[in-house]
């Protein structure tokens, strides 16, 4: 099948220009305004921008085990609608994905159900060093240095030293210091005010754990990615000239703050917690100057009933794969950043960070994971329109300008004309063809 996308303004690695893109099978075959090849389908994209598909390197899709909140089918449809063509999923499912067998089981589920491309992290425990060393077909190792949803936690120094010393896969971590969080939780044990979540999971908790993880990574010279940086102070730790350390920020930490608790209640309850608008400002600054490379969602759905439990029984997490690109494109509309920066943070950088072959860029020979965006489209996020199984968004009622309007996954249309293409099965496992070798060759 050949698809010719004409008249779009295309964001290429080094320039943005009006040209035509020919997709042949699963790949980008040509980029040239004068393509005259006969195609099975021609898409006139005048007035639209063509960008690489978003790679979301931190999602929780709840399958297996927690499928009353989310599952791979609902979540991957939400991805396609949101312009996310590849997701990397976290191991705190039930059972936890802490062995190769569990990873392989998830890969088999996704092969059956996912509309978009996928990869699954292996979770670290204090006991599974052997599994971590033998793991393959996975982006890397996830460590909860500080507990969150589920029971995965590695807090003991000896266990952390061994993981950083003896494994070879890249490591990423949830950095909130367990001791600090527990002491703060004790102090606020009688509170039912969800705003205290940001006092329990405070700046010190984030700083201590991030500092600790960076120290481990630097001493052991281990590739390390700091997940969901939430404080301005952490960004000061991130300047890295050795290519060893990368980091991520999430839309909720960039666009929401502690000031949103009165409006959103526990819908704003996340781990790491929301911080101040000054912290958010410093996260934007770190994205702009390259200390943070990636924007990802930490899509973490819980049902509205679960979220309605009184704090601290309410679980932490919010869904967002469906709206993350629109939220950041809205920032382009507001003049905070450029479309090229968005493509870097959400498409190209995650592919480089996670060593994903032939994705994240519009280039000949790369996979045809493509998204058409309408930078002038204004629409309101509505709970009733959400494809995520949990059926809500923290941005319900918010008007955004800049939306994905069509998504292709490896050359197959997955979302177009406002609807999911139901029989689309373009998605595949991103680590079945080996790693890209980006970090190995630097």
Interface positions with ligand DOR (CB under 6 A)? 60, 92, 148-149, 174, 270-271, 298, 300, 316-317
Cα angle vertex 135, ends 429, 137, to 5°? 10
User: Judging by DSSP bridges, how do beta strands 370-380 and 49-52 pair with one another?
Assistant: antiparallel
| Shortest Å, Cβ 298 to ligand DOR | 6
Inter-axis angle of helices 203-220 and 157-166, nearest 10: 40
Three-state DSSP at 434 gives coil
| Shortest Å, Cβ 419 to ligand DOR | 29
What is the spatial distance between Cα 227 and Cα 216, in angstroms, rounded to a whole number?
15
| Shortest Å, Cβ 266 to ligand DOR | 11
Task: Look up tokens 């934007």; give the residue.
Answer: 284
Q: What tokens appear for 431 in the block? A: 């680590």
Q: Which is nearer to ligand DOR, 3 or 58 (CB)?
A: 58
Sequence-ordered list of residues with C-beta below 8 angstroms from that of 428, at least 6 positions apart, any chain: 111, 117, 118, 410
C-beta atoms surrounding 156 within 10 Å: 10
Q: Which is nearer to ligand DOR, 144 or 408 (CB)?
A: 144
| Shortest Å, Cβ 364 to ligand DOR | 38
Task: Look up tokens 């996670």; give the residue.
Answer: 354
Residue of 264, 255, 213, 195 whose CA lies nearest to 230: 255
Sequence-ordered list of residues with C-beta below 8 angstroms from that of 85, at least 6 positions apart, any chain: 52, 53, 54, 55, 79, 116, 117, 359, 369, 370, 371, 407, 408, 409, 414
Beta-bridged to residue 87, according to DSSP, are 56, 118
User: Pick the catalytic residue: 202, 279, 298, 355?
Assistant: 298
Sequence-ordered list of residues with C-beta below 8 angstroms from that of 318, at least 6 positions apart, any chain: 252, 267, 268, 270, 299, 300, 301, 393, 394
| Shortest Å, Cβ 196 to ligand DOR | 16
Q: Which is nearer to ligand DOR, 148 or 180 (CB)?
A: 148
Q: Which is nearer to ligand DOR, 300 or 406 (CB)?
A: 300
What is the spatial distance between Cα 407 and Cα 374, in angstroms, rounded to a whole number?
12
Q: Is 146 left (phi over 0), alpha (psi -120 to 50) or beta?
A: left
Q: Which is nearer to ligand DOR, 317 or 350 (CB)?
A: 317
Q: Which is nearer to ligand DOR, 319 or 350 (CB)?
A: 319
Farthest-apart Cα atoms in the chain, separation:
70
Q: What tokens appear for 130 in the block? A: 């052997």
Residue of 30, 168, 79 whose CA lies nearest to 415: 79
| Shortest Å, Cβ 269 to ligand DOR | 7
Active-site residue flag, 298? yes
| Shortest Å, Cβ 317 to ligand DOR | 3
Q: Which is nearer to ligand DOR, 315 or 404 (CB)?
A: 315
Catalytic residues: 298
């Amino acid at each position: 099948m050949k698809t010719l996308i004409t008249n779009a303004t295309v964001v290429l690695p080094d320039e943005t220009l009006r040209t035509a893109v020919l997709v042949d099978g699963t790949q980008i075959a040509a980029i040239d305004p004068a393509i005259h090849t006969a195609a099975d389908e021609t898409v006139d994209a005048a007035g639209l921008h063509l960008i690489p598909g978003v790679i979301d390197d931190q999602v929780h899709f709840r399958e297996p085990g927690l499928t009353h909140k989310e599952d791979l089918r609902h979540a991957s449809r939400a991805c396609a609608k949101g312009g996310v063509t590849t997701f990397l999923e976290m191991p705190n499912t039930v059972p936890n994905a802490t062995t190769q067998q569990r990873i392989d089981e998830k890969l088999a589920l996704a092969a059956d159900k996912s509309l978009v491309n996928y990869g699954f992290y292996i979770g670290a425990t204090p006991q599974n060093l052997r599994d971590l060393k033998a793991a393959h077909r996975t982006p890397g190792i996830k460590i909860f240095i500080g507990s969150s949803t589920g029971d995965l936690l590695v807090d003991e120094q000896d266990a952390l030293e061994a993981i950083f010393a003896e494994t070879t896969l890249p490591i990423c971590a949830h950095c909130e210091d367990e001791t600090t969080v527990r002491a703060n939780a004790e102090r606020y044990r009688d509170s039912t005010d969800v705003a205290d979540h940001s006092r329990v999971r405070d700046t010190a908790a984030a700083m201590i754990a991030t500092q600790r993880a960076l120290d481990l990574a630097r001493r052991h010279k281990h590739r390390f990615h700091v997940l969901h940086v939430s404080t301005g102070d952490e960004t000061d730790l991130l300047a890295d000239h050795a290519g060893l350390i990368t980091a991520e920020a999430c839309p909720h930490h960039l666009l929401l703050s502690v000031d949103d608790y009165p409006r959103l209640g526990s819908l704003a309850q996340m781990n790491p917690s929301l911080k101040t608008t000054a912290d958010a400002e410093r996260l934007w600054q770190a994205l702009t100057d390259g200390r943070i490379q990636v924007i990802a969602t930490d899509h973490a759905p819980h049902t509205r009933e679960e979220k309605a439990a009184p704090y601290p029984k309410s679980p932490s997490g919010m869904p967002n794969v469906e709206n993350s690109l629109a939220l950041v494109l809205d920032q382009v509309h507001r003049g905070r950043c450029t479309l090229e920066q968005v493509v870097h943070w959400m498409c190209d950088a995650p592919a480089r960070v996670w060593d994903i072959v032939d994705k994240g860029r519009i280039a000949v020979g790369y996979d045809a994971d493509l998204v058409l965006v309408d930078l002038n489209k204004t629409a309101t996020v509505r709970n009733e329109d959400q494809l995520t199984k949990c059926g809500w968004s923290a941005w319900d009622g918010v008007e955004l300008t800049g939306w994905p309007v069509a998504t292709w996954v490896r050359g197959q249309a997955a979302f177009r004309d406002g609807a999911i293409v139901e029989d689309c099965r373009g998605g595949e496992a991103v680590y079945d063809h080996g790693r890209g070798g980006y970090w190995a060759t630097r």
